Amino acid sequence: MKSLRLSLIVYLLGLLLTCIVSFSLYLHHQSAQRVSAIFDKSGRMLARSTEDAEHLLQGRYQVMDQMLRANLDEALLLKAQTLASHLVRRFEFGRDILVFRLLGGHQSVHQAVLGMPGLPAVPIVGQEAVRWWTQARVIQLATLDEIDEGLLGSPRRSAPAEEFYQVSSEEELILLRSPHLGSNILPLDRKTRQKMKLFQYEFSNVTVGGRHLRLVTLKAPITRMLLIFPERRRGGGSSSNSHRPPRSSLVPVDRDIVQRGLVPTVFVQYARSVADIEETLAELRADIENVRDQLLREQEQTRLRLEEDAQAALASMRTTLVLLAVAVVAAMVVGSVVIIRRGLAPIEHIARAVSQVSEKDFQLKLAPEEVPQELAPIVARLREVLALLAAAFQREKQAVADISHELRTPLAALLATIQVSLKKMRTAEEYRQTLGQCAEIGEQLRGLMERLLLLARLDAGTAIVYPQLVDVPELAEQCLNMVRPLAHDKDLHFHFERNGVSTVFTDPEKLREILNNLLHNAIQYNRPGGRVDLELRRKEGALVIEVRDTGIGIPPEARPHLFERFFRADPSRQSDVIHAGLGLAIVKGYLDLLGGTIAVESTVGQGSTFRIELPVDGSDAPRTDASS
């Protein structure tokens, strides 16, 4: 047996569980997505910040690199220029010693190799442009030792191996060079030599003797110094030797000539090793690498920590969700049990009320306000059924009482008759009388039993119709004859109308029983001196039999019950035991069996009419009529 409450709880909990699980899964999914999005974003941000830091470091490195190199270049250029100007100064200072007059034709270039003891020969370039020169000038540059390195802005001893200079003529003669260059030469290719203009300089990276060097090449004029000479000479002319030709005689070289390249020039080169810069940069690079590594490590750590945090947060949320779900489910179990109990309370109430219905009263002890609207139809129907049941029960009880009554009275008579007879010795005649009386009572009992059995058979549907051709008027006559003595007792008169009805096809015994009962009633309930009419007629293929009396009539309230068993319109029993309130019930049962109907018309105090209609087979009727 299924429990309404249990199934409701199960369905409700199933629904709730489904809701909770889906909601939790959805929530979890959403949170996981969000957490992973946040995680990704932070990872990206972290990576970018690392990248930025890296860029910054890289930038710093580049700035440093550029700065160092720019500084170097500047220093180199400065040194080269200083050297160049120093060369001029050297020349100036040593003019008395080193200036030769050369005789020669103009418009040609003369070369001479001058030498001094201990000094390398220095080629001098003369130029055609100075055509009116009567004397050439030979410039001998100082030896290496005579170059004051201090002039170059750096202590000579401190970095002798790191800085190099070299001065060469346009003819690729090396006029001057750092002693520690050894056999190495600072390179100066021909193309550069020809391309470069005066005062122009150029930086390049070279490798000399396995060293990486930064080299600046500067094209500087030597003749520029000539511009200085006259002024100098003029300024100190008074103190100079008188045997020397006056300086004023020298033709000054104007600037224009110099700019046009018509002055002798030299290439001053100054180089410096970039090893220290590269070392510094390498250190910087290493630092940057370190920092970068550290940053990456930190980024990885942060990422891991973030991931851990995210996982922990998710796990905690999962736990919370599970706990929440468990709590909700528990609350729901309790809640649904309570709710369902409350909800089903009216049903229980009704069930209790129904269980208290007894066969005594068939009352559903339930106030209307206790019945929920939904169950009202059921309860109403239940009440109806109970009412029907109570009525049926009452009828059954009544029937049992009636049957017992009908059986008990003749039985009491039988016993009393026998016991009276047995009280003392009787004559044979007396015994004979007694036995006759007993037989009479026995007959009554038998008749009653047969009627009850007949009704039982009708109820069980085992009564069988034996139809045959029946001469209805003759049968009616027989019935009238049977009841005639009774009618005579009451001084009743019979009227019989046949109306040409002859034979019909029906069950004669049942028809006889019907007529007997109706006639009996007509006599029983008639007034003395009244009349009984029996009329036969045909109507649209039906046989109509009417029994009319002039009796007491049937009150309207009794008519619906007329065909119920043991029912009597007169609440007090009539003395006729034969009928026992079963006559009309049997009439009705037989008519149902034969397919007929019965109708009653009655006026209280004037009489009743019982009208029977029996269907007659249309094909039979004319034939039977004709045969009659």
Partner 1 sequence: MRVLLVEDHKPLVRALKQGLEEEGFAVDVAADGEEGDFKARSADYDVIVLDLMLPKIDGLTLLRSWRRDGIKSFVLVLTARGGTDDKVLGLDAGADDYLTKPFELEELLARIRALIRRRHEVKSPIIRIYDLEINTASRVVKRGGKAIHLTPKEYALLEFLAYHCGKVVTRSMIWNHLYDENDENTSNVVDVYIRYLRNKIDKGFDPPLILTRWGEGYMLRAPE
DSSP per residue, 330-355: HHHHHHHHHHHHHHHHHHHHHHHHHH
3-class secondary structure, 533 = strand
Which among 159-167, 404-412, 485-493, 502-510 is the span making contact with partner 1, rule CB under 8 A?
404-412
240: left (phi over 0), alpha (psi -120 to 50) or beta: beta
Q: How many residues bind partner 1 (CB under 8 A)?
A: 30
In angstroms, what is the C-alpha Rg of the chain?
77
Q: 365 vs 408, which CB is nearer to partner 1?
A: 408
CA dihedral 190, 193, 196, 197 (to 10 degrees): -140
Which among 126-134, 379-387, 402-410, 617-625 is the span making contact with partner 1, rule CB under 8 A?
402-410
Q: 405 vs 623, which CB is nearer to partner 1?
A: 405
Residue 387 C-beta: closest distance to partner 1, Å: 21
Residue 7 C-beta: closest distance to partner 1, Å: 46
Q: 135 vs 574, which CB is nearer to partner 1?
A: 574
Residue 427 C-beta: closest distance to partner 1, Å: 14
Q: 334 vs 415, which CB is nearer to partner 1?
A: 415
x-marked contacts with partner 1 along 419-448 as a string, rule CB under 8 A: xx--xx------------x--xx--x----
SS (H, E, C) 350-404: HHHHHHCCCCCCCCCCCCHHHCCHHHHHHHHHHHHHHHHHHHHHHHHHHHHHHHH
Max intra-chain CA distance, the chain: 227
Q: Is 414 in the site for partner 1 (CB under 8 A)?
A: yes
Residue 367 C-beta: closest distance to partner 1, Å: 29
- Binding test (CB under 8 A) with partner 1, winner from 305, 408, 446, 493: 408
CB-count exposure of residue 492 (10 Å: 0-12, 13-18, 19+): buried
Angle of CA points 106, 108, 110, to nearest 5°: 105
Q: 4 vs 401, which CB is nearer to partner 1?
A: 401
Which among 224-232, 295-303, 328-336, 413-421 is the span making contact with partner 1, rule CB under 8 A?
413-421
Residue 376 C-beta: closest distance to partner 1, Å: 35
Q: 239 vs 572, which CB is nearer to partner 1?
A: 572
3-class secondary structure, 445 = helix
Which among 1-9, 29-37, 406-414, 590-598 is the span making contact with partner 1, rule CB under 8 A?
406-414
Rounded Cα gap, residues 228 and 151, in angstroms: 20
- Binding test (CB under 8 A) with partner 1, winner from 406, 535, 546, 613: 406
Residue 603 C-beta: closest distance to partner 1, Å: 21
Q: 446 vs 623, which CB is nearer to partner 1?
A: 446
DSSP per residue, 555-619: -GGGGGGTTSTT--SSSSPPS-TTTTT-HHHHHHHHHHHHT-EEEEEEETTTEEEEEEEEE--TT
Q: Is 413 in the site for partner 1 (CB under 8 A)?
A: yes
- Binding test (CB under 8 A) with partner 1, winner from 240, 259, 404, 619: 404
Residue 493 C-beta: closest distance to partner 1, Å: 24
Rounded Cα gap, residues 359 and 345, in angstroms: 25
Q: Is 622 in the site for partner 1 (CB under 8 A)?
A: no
Q: 345 vs 411, which CB is nearer to partner 1?
A: 411
- Binding test (CB under 8 A) with partner 1, winner from 121, 330, 416, 465: 416
Rounded Cα gap, residues 47 and 303, in angstroms: 9
DSSP per residue, 460-519: HT------EEEEHHHHHHHHHHHHHHHHHHTT-EEEEE-TT--EEEE-HHHHHHHHHHHH
Residue 417 C-beta: closest distance to partner 1, Å: 4
Q: Residues 275 to 334: which contact partner 1 by CB under 8 A?
A: none
- Classify strands 531-539 and 597-603 as parallel, antiparallel or unpaired: unpaired
Return the bridge partners of 206, or none. 213
Q: 392 vs 416, which CB is nearer to partner 1?
A: 416
Q: 131 vs 408, which CB is nearer to partner 1?
A: 408
- Binding test (CB under 8 A) with partner 1, winner from 351, 415, 449, 600: 415
What are 134's two structure tokens? Answer: 């009567």
What is the enclosing helix (H) or strand (E) of 456? Answer: helix 428-460
CB-count exposure of residue 266 (10 Å: 0-12, 13-18, 19+): buried
How far apart, in Å, are the Cα atoms of 542 and each of 201, 518, 616, 617?
151, 19, 5, 8
Residue 574 C-beta: closest distance to partner 1, Å: 5
Q: Is 449 in the site for partner 1 (CB under 8 A)?
A: no
Q: Are 53 and 295 a contacting pair, CB within 8 Å?
A: yes
Q: Is 75 in the site for partner 1 (CB under 8 A)?
A: no
Q: 352 vs 432, which CB is nearer to partner 1?
A: 432
- Classify strands 503-506 and 542-549 as parallel, antiparallel or unpaired: unpaired
Rounded Cα gap, residues 371 and 377, in angstroms: 10
Q: Residues 382 to 401: which contact partner 1 by CB under 8 A?
A: 401
Residue 583 C-beta: closest distance to partner 1, Å: 16
- Binding test (CB under 8 A) with partner 1, winner from 334, 411, 599, 600: 411
Query: Any idea which residue has 């050439």 for tokens?
Result: 136
Which residue in 308, 490, 332 sits closest to 15, CA to CA?
332
Q: Residues 564 to 593: which contact partner 1 by CB under 8 A?
A: 570-575, 577
Which residue in 115, 98, 215 sits closest to 166, CA to CA?
215
Residue 557 C-beta: closest distance to partner 1, Å: 18
Residue 480 C-beta: closest distance to partner 1, Å: 25
Q: 441 vs 554, which CB is nearer to partner 1?
A: 441
Binding site for partner 1 (CB under 8 A): 401, 404-417, 419-420, 423-424, 437, 440-441, 444, 570-575, 577
